[in-house]
């Protein structure tokens, strides 16, 4: 799952905190962290700065809320969807299908955040997300019968493949197969390579 642009969900004529979070994530996707500024966001939402300060004490608090929401929807929600699959090979396949499907919706936030790694709030969320994702995939390889060290190495390999894939999706999408059959063959090759014990 990825962040989606939403229409403001006014309650009794007042914007909710989530409206500001959604607007901040949209701004990050369009122009990075520098695009998260109270006045332009208020204008986008048709609100006043007072509405912002009703929900957040400052810009940093909004950025923290936006990054936490992105972390939840792009990591925890994806894991929650994939985790119930009991067969580890099918779980890994489901994960590889879920993540590119999310990325192809055009959400540029993850790519943008990777370019903002020097920002302390971004660095913290990317560290948490990376550790959580690698741990989840490592567990899949453990469930496939790999020793702990090898399972971790393959978990890291899967994550580097993920980062490369989202970069291609946003920068050079024609480098990846676009037809269903080509995507299936690509995924089959990727999974065969990653799960081979030979």
What is the structure's pLDDT at 104? 52
* Structural domain spans, the chain: 17-60, 63-195
Residue 128 DSSP symbol: H
Name the residue among 92, 77, 78 with its Cα closest to residue 142: 92
pLDDT in tens, 112-160: 898 899 999 999 999 999 999 999 999 999 999 999 999 999 999 999 9
Hey, what CATH class is 63-195 in?
mainly alpha
- The answer to whether 3 and 70 are in contact (CB under 8 A) is yes
pLDDT digits (tens, 9 = 90+) for 6-26: 455 544 457 899 999 999 999
CATH architecture classification, 17-60: Orthogonal Bundle (1.10)
Taking only the tens place, the pLDDT of each residue in 61-80 is: 999 999 999 999 989 999 99
The Cβ of residue 161 has, within 10 Å, a number of other Cβ atoms equal to 15
Instruction: Check pLDDT > 60 for residue 106.
Output: no
Task: Render pLDDT for 169-183 as a digit per residue (tens, 0 to 9).
Answer: 878 888 888 888 998
Mean pLDDT, residues 30-53 taken together: 94
């Amino acid at each position: 799952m990825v962040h989606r642009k939403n229409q403001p969900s006014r309650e009794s004529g007042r914007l909710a905190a989530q409206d500001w979070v959604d607007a901040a994530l949209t701004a990050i996707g369009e122009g990075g962290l520098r695009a998260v500024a109270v006045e332009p966001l208020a204008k986008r939402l048709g609100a006043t700065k007072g509405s912002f300060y009703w929900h957040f004490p400052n810009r940093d608090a909004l950025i923290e809320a936006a990054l936490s929401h992105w972390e939840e929807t792009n990591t925890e929600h994806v894991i929650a969807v994939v985790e119930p699959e009991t067969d580890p090979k099918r779980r890994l396949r489901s994960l590889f299908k879920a993540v590119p499907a999310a990325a192809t919706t055009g959400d540029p936030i993850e790519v943008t955040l990777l370019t903002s790694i020097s920002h302390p709030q971004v660095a913290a969320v990317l560290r948490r997300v990376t550790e959580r994702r690698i741990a989840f995939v490592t567990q899949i390889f453990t469930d496939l019968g790999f020793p702990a060290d090898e399972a971790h190495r393959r978990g890291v390999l899967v994550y580097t493949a993920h980062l490369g894939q989202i970069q291609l999706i946003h920068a050079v999408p024609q480098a990846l197969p676009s037809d269903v059959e080509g995507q299936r063959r690509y995924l089959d090759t990727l999974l065969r390579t990653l799960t081979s014990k030979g």
